[in-house]
Structure 1
Amino acid sequence: MSTQTPQTSVAPDGAARRTRPVKLQMAELVIKTANYDRMCAWYEHLLGHGPFFTRLPDPDQPPRPAGMPERAVDVRLAFFEIHDNGHPHHQTLGIFGIDSLAGVQRSGSGLHHFQFGVDGLKELITQYDHMMAAGSVPHRVANHGQATSFYFTDPDGNIIEFSCSNFPTWEKEAAFMASPAFAGNPSGLELDHADFARRYHSGEPRESLLSLEPKGSA
């Protein structure tokens, strides 16, 4: 695992100071949308439960200050629990409903995708089956070498990745990522989602499923 490295920075008074970042955990990811109801329904299916908190903005509240990004008090709001790592380390997904975004084109810099990690290949296929049951079809599946991933898009077109490690330990996964094979092709092997799921459900051995050698559909 990585360690925090002291960094040298220059303070406003011109003095150089060495500082060290604290240990961080990803705690909250918030998506803004004009499709609040559809997005909430989609993520409710994805997670298997509804939000633990919802709120509508008070029409009588003062307007937000000019130039300030939308705050929770300004929007239709839903918070979903993703994972509880023990207080205070919880993982939360937020949906901000902002009607003024309707018709706005998504382009330029910003979030490319985000990932939900699962425990293993069994859970990855179970989540795939769960998403397919609601009509969500992955637009991409890949064995990246160190991990296998299924990629979906939500109703707004955000890319959501479900991924499991291909290795039993972080040390083995990190060793593969330091190898020439990963450096030469970090994207790995593209897979057909239906064929891969069929092979899994038919009982094909894990070693064969996770091989980086291309296989044709049987």
Structure 2
Amino acid sequence: MVANFDEDVERVISPSKLAHVVLRTNNLENMVTFYKTFLGAKVIYENEMLAFLSYDEEHHRIAILGVPGTQAKQQTTCGLEHIAFTFSSLTDLLLSYRQRKQKGIPPLWPVNHGPTTSIYYKDPDGNMIETQVDNFDDPDAATEFMKSKHFSENPIGADFDPEEWIEQLTAGKPENELKVRKEVGPRGLPDFF
């Protein structure tokens, strides 16, 4: 069957996956070291201006491009807010949090958004990174939560203490109980945005 390349459509074809993110920097060596550590990644290719990193079967998930003359990131300008990486379980999310902490990478913001439980970080250039776990087993259930009164009232979420959650998991509390968002009422963005 030959595609109809001239057909009028309401919606374009969606991509099959997000392949990679490229970050521009004036701090190549530190950025490469950070992402190798942060993602448990390996460098697939690197030279004096470019590095390709992967943490899975893809040939690269993150590319870092060192461009002379690149200015430092300014928090108040338009641009990509953050990139997010999903873990398969709350235990893995919290284990990676502890491992990063041991490597000198502190979290910026642990928050249960409702659809996800997330821990945010900043890289050496000030780019934000979200690590997350889905709180619902079914994407439709997450979508329904996002249509709820609670989410409308507070789409940001409720902060949590990863160390307390680790204690509760270690004591036998089930992941699905921890992942239920506590309702804290309306709130705005934290002051680091």
- Matched with 1:98 is 67
Which of the pair has more CA radius of gyration? 1
Structure 1 vs Structure 2 CA RMSD:
2.4
Task: Show the 5 A alignment for 1:4-153.
Answer: 17-18=8-9, 20-24=11-15, 25-56=17-48, 76-84=49-57, 92-101=61-70, 105-153=74-122
**Separation in 2, partners of 1:107, 1:157:** 12
Residues 1:106 and 1:181: Cα distance change in structure 2 (over 3 Å):
closer
Matched, 1:199 2:159: no
Once the two structures are aligned, what percentage of the paired residues are identical? 29
**Partner SS state of residue 61, structure 2:** strand
For residue 207 of structure 1, report the CA deviation from its aligned partner.
4.1
> Residue deviations 1:110-144, cap 9 Å, x none?
11111001111111112111211111111100111
For residue 201 of structure 1, report the CA deviation from its aligned partner.
3.1
**Separation in 1, partners of 2:35, 2:152:** 34
> Residue deviations 1:168-216, cap 9 Å, x none?
111222221122211211111111233333333333332442233379x
Amino acid at match of 1:180: K
Could you state the TM-score of these two structures normalised by the residue count of structure 2?
A: 0.81
User: Is the 2:43–2:53 Cα contact (8 Å) retained in structure 1?
Assistant: yes
Residues 1:192 and 1:104: Cα distance change in structure 2 (over 3 Å):
closer
> Residue deviations 1:70-92, cap 9 Å, x none?
xxxxxx1001124437xxxx662
**Partner SS state of residue 51, structure 1:** strand
**Separation in 2, partners of 1:103, 1:140:** 22
Structure 2 unmatched ranges of 5 or more: 1-6, 185-193
- Matched with 1:64 is none
Shift >4 Å, 4+ stretches: 102-106
Amino acid at match of 1:131: R
